[in-house]
Chain A
Amino acid sequence: MTQHPVVVLDHVTRRFSAAPALDDITLSIDRGEIVGLIGRSGAGKSTLIRCLNGLDKPQAGRVLIDGQDITPLGENALQPVRRRIGMIFQHFNLLSAKTVADNVALPMKIAGRPAAKRRKRVLELLDMVGLADKADVWPSQLSGGQKQRVGIARALASDPLLLLSDEATSALDPETTQSILDLLAKVNRDLGLTVLMITHEIEVVRQIASRVIVLDRGRVVEEGPVARVMASPQADTTRSLLRGLSPTLPRDLAALLAPAGDQALVRLDVHGPDARRPLLDMIAQATGHPARLLHGGLNDVQGIPYGRLFIALGTANPQKVQAALAALTPHTTAIEVLGHVPRDV
């Protein structure tokens, strides 16, 4: 089997008016990946995803789906390509005049599958998303989470190669979001489906994406494995999107910070196995003073620990502080002396 990427964007530019919504974007997505696409409102996320199934067309560059360049294709020629791409939406976009079963069956009807086969597959799909008993109800009778499950079943009905998700969990409460994410992860695992998901909820990416792409004003400003990006974000946009997740110095401690004082306060970012080292002991050995964890903690991205710690070194002596920094630097992704705090903080 040839292993070309499922999606390739090759110098894609899409502009509506003055500022481009997509500005010379180049990226690729491999088979079986779950890629998170994050960015502020207006960054161009929806435009990018719409370019992948030809709902929108770039003015420059190429979009390749499973090796096929879809940019020159007209509305009719795009139809077979679209039948291989499932899409789920923030507001579900279910047809109100069709029952749940008929909604799920629609992509198969479009693909020309006979009615008897459709019904069987619909029931399988509804069973998979946990709605086997809702086949013959109207979408308006379902909760938001149930509607999105129908949306997912519908998107999977044509056995797609690629699943596109535009803010699929943004209209749902945290618990329902969790169940939808679990479902997407299961679909990815069991069917080997490639998933591209747009979200502004970094938490969603943290849980199920393997790779993250950060978009800002139509440009890719950062890209990489989720664990790496979350532990040491390089772009300002990423850092500000992550801000909500990483701990910041509490107000009372921040108020105590001074250029000089009894002991230095350092902030360190840790990632991977280093995060589980006896960091406080290492500091104590380097300085000869007991170090204290004042704030922060560890989290994990898909089994890989990362975190941010605020540690008081127990001394303000410049040589000792330097020794502590020297001991820590090989094991941290970032380290910074924030200032000094009193001995009895």
Chain B
Amino acid sequence: MSPAMFDLLLRGLKETLIMTGVSGLLSFLIGLPLALVLVTTDRGGIFEAVTLNRVLGLVVNGLRSVPFIILLVAVIPLTRLIVGSAIGIAAAIVPLTIAAAPYFARVAEVSLREVERPLIDAARAMGATRWTIVREVLIPEALPGIVSGFTVTLVTLVGASAMAGAVGAGGLGDIAIRYGYQRFETEVMVAVVAILVVLVCGMQWLGDRLARALDHH
């Protein structure tokens, strides 16, 4: 492998990591509150507000039902508005976040719902405020599941960021398509796939370990 190719792959990896990392972080920051709202505003929840819950549920489902490749194109005007350009890493982060945040919200929601009602009642019986219940019961008890869900979200983002290459964002996926597919440089293709496999396995391993360390059931 030529030094030039090595540099190219290294840059691609960096771009992929930035895209995945930033959109992952944003998805977490948007998705977790979203999940909390979805759980606590539901019927019988501690912040019961059924109409809000329905509307939010519809929005989340709507976003999740759009195929990513279509979302990528459809949000171009929005992307321009936010980052001033429709091309590049920053531009890819917008659709990636819009796709991943609702996904993560649903995954986190499942874990939050698994926190049993009696535990919440025990905290209520202690005179906990609703925010205290969120902080001391809901989030800590659901944390192992939230971490697992976030790992899955990140792995999904690695894959989606390859597609984002289509909007000129670069990254490993872009390299694989341009060199490996269009120019038949199989060696590059194999290298990219190998890097992605290692990356995904590493993330999964780390996520699993963290989730297990947090789980005291």
Contact = CB atoms under 8 A, between A and B. Distances in A.
A106 B136 contact: yes
A110 B132 contact: yes
A39 to B, nearest CB: 21
Given A89-B118, A96-B217, A110 B127 contact: yes
Given A93-B122, A95-B137, A111 B127 contact: yes
A140 to B, nearest CB: 6
Contacts of B216: 96-97, 138-140
B125 interface: yes
Given A75-B130, A89-B118, A138-B216, A95 B136 contact: yes
B119 A82 contact: no
B124 interface: yes
A93 B119 contact: yes
A82 B118 contact: no
Interface in B101-160: 118-119, 121-130, 132, 136-137, 140-141, 143
Contacts of A81: 127
Given A79-B127, A110-B132, A98 B140 contact: yes
Contacts of B118: 89, 91, 93
A61 to B, nearest CB: 21
A287 interface: no
Nearest to B216: A138
B124 A55 contact: yes
Interface in A104-162: 106-107, 109-111, 138-140, 154, 158
Q: How large is the interface on A (under 10, 10 to 19, 20 to 34, 35 or more residues)?
A: 20 to 34
Contact of B125 (A80, A87, A96): A87
Contacts of B129: 76, 79, 110
A89 B128 contact: no
B217 A140 contact: yes
B45 to A, nearest CB: 12
B214 interface: yes
A315 B140 CA distance: 75
B125 A85 contact: yes
Pick from B119, B127, B141 the residue with the most CB of A within 10 Å: B127
Contact of A82 (B127, B140, B143): B127
Contact of A95 (B125, B127, B132, B140): B140
A53 interface: yes
B117 to A, nearest CB: 10
A239 interface: no
A78 B128 CA distance: 10
B9 to A, nearest CB: 41
A40 interface: no
A83 interface: yes
A238 B74 CA distance: 71
Interface in B169-217: 214, 216-217
Contacts of A89: 118, 122
Contacts of A109: 136
Contact of A158 (B126, B130, B137): B126
A83 B126 contact: yes
A139 B129 CA distance: 23
Given A96-B216, A96-B217, A97-B143, A107 B126 contact: yes
Nearest to A151: B122
Nearest to B128: A110
A83 B130 contact: no
Contacts of A98: 136, 140
A89 B119 CA distance: 10
Nearest to B133: A110
Interface in A46-99: 53, 55, 75-76, 78-83, 85, 87, 89, 91, 93, 95-98
A109 B214 CA distance: 22
B127 A80 contact: yes
Interface in A188-242: none
B127 A83 contact: yes
B140 A110 contact: no
Contacts of B127: 78-83, 107, 110-111, 158
B122 A97 contact: no
Contacts of B122: 87, 89, 93
A125 to B, nearest CB: 14
19 contacts: A53-B125, A55-B124, A55-B125, A79-B127, A85-B125, A89-B118, A89-B122, A93-B122, A96-B141, A96-B216, A96-B217, A97-B140, A97-B143, A97-B216, A106-B128, A110-B123, A139-B216, A140-B216, A158-B126
Given A93-B122, A95-B136, A106-B128, 9 more contacts: A79-B128, A82-B124, A87-B122, A89-B122, A93-B118, A96-B141, A96-B216, A110-B127, A140-B217
Interface of B: 118-119, 121-130, 132, 136-137, 140-141, 143, 214, 216-217
**Which 4 A-B residue pairings sit nearest by Cβ, starting from the closest?**
A83-B127, A82-B127, A97-B140, A93-B122
